[in-house]
Amino acid sequence: MNTRIFSFFRYLFLYLLALFFILFAVWYSEKNLAQAQGFDFQNSNRKNQNADATGGLIKRDYVFGSIDGKKYLVKDLWDKHLNQAEESLFESLKSNFSDLFFQQNPNLLADVSTFQPTEEEMKAFYQSNALEKQGSYANLKDQLREYMAQSKKQEIRQKIFEEAMGKGRVTLFPLPVALVQFSNSTAIAKNKAEFSVAMVEFSDYQCPFCHKFQTTLQKLMATEKKVSFFYRHFPLQDIHPEAFFAANAAECAQQAGAFLDLHNWMYNHPNQLRKESIFAFMKQGLTKEKFEPFQKCLETEKFKPKVEEDLALGKSMGITGTPTSFVGWYNPKTKVFQGEMITGAQPYAMVKKKLAFYLTEPAPADF
């Protein structure tokens, strides 16, 4: 019996020893193959390369990997891809909750799925958005019906999701965040541009979700007294034909010292963004000396290049829809911003929590 036990453990030992050498050989061959192909095997473990605490942020100098010994940082590999990934994850979570909610409430699902705008609503939308340039009402009728139905469904789903977040049914846990950095020197300041924390909004005057988000922004401006708020343009011309014109009008109003007046008016009157309506409104608040330059500015599209620059900047950072905002650190001297992206008309509590982090966390030493 003792001999059999001894033999059993001897064979077990030899088996484990052989398995160890096999696994070691596989690991060693993969390591050499990776190095031969120009991939730094040890640096593939980001935790080793970025072991210092970052407070849940992927900094722009975060080492992502290396090729032939050359280290690549997040800023070298397009921050926008990381922001787009976060946006996709958020939309997937929202979609999953919507599916669950409508499974639990099948009657509401039927109401949402079968919603169709009335003929009067479609005609009003066609006229108020000056869609004559894109075709007759008869030719655009089917597209209008589909667009308005989808917009309504999206609005209902967003409202349900926000209510669920408010009731604690949905919780968002912070992901590692890719920080973007850009010059903010041409942005319009909505308040004092002197604070070290800022929120930069990229928006569209015809966007219904942007209109909704203004309530949140006004509340934030009233409560966050140590945050600078900025506005930049991202008109979605394919679906909002008057948005680019309105963006240019906002810049002309800024030149006349009346940005907030026109800004608030346009968001409150998204169906009146034609030249005549804007001129009529501005004529009431500007002196003749200021109105005439404003009129000339708008008619000549003076700020068209600036609006296009905002659009190009937004696209380079991965913006695909509005509203899209950035919260983070701001250097009033250099006018450089560094922070994270927030997509959609997020609720007040969520944005406030994001701002609270930057208000308590010091900016990077090299910023």
pLDDT tens for 7-40 read 555 655 555 556 565 555 545 544 443 333 333 3
Find the mean pLDDT for residues 224-233. Answer: 98
pLDDT reported for residue 77: 55
pLDDT, mean over the chain? 81
Range of weakest confidence among 20-24, 90-94, 130-134, 136-140: 20-24
CA distances from 43 to 62, 64, 177, 232, 324 (A): 12, 8, 20, 39, 34
Output the CA–CA distances (angstroms, integers) from residue 279 to 126, 237, 334, in the order listed.
Answer: 22, 21, 36
- pTM of whole model > 0.75? no
Q: Which residues pair with 325 in a beta bridge?
A: 201, 342
What is the pLDDT at residue 54? 40
Q: Tokens representing 299?
A: 């008619």
For the chain, the distance separating the N- and C-terminal CA atoms, rounded to the nearest angstrom, is 74
Residue 204: is its pLDDT beyond 70? yes
Give CA 260 to chain center in angstroms.
Answer: 23
Q: Is the pLDDT of residue 200 over 60?
A: yes
Please give the average per-residue pLDDT across 276-294, as a whole number: 95
- Choice between 178 and 267, residue whose per-residue pLDDT is larger: 267
- Are 181 and 200 in contact, with CB atoms under 8 Å apart? no
Tell me how far apart the alpha carbons of residues 177 and 318 are, in angstroms, rounded to a whole number. Answer: 14
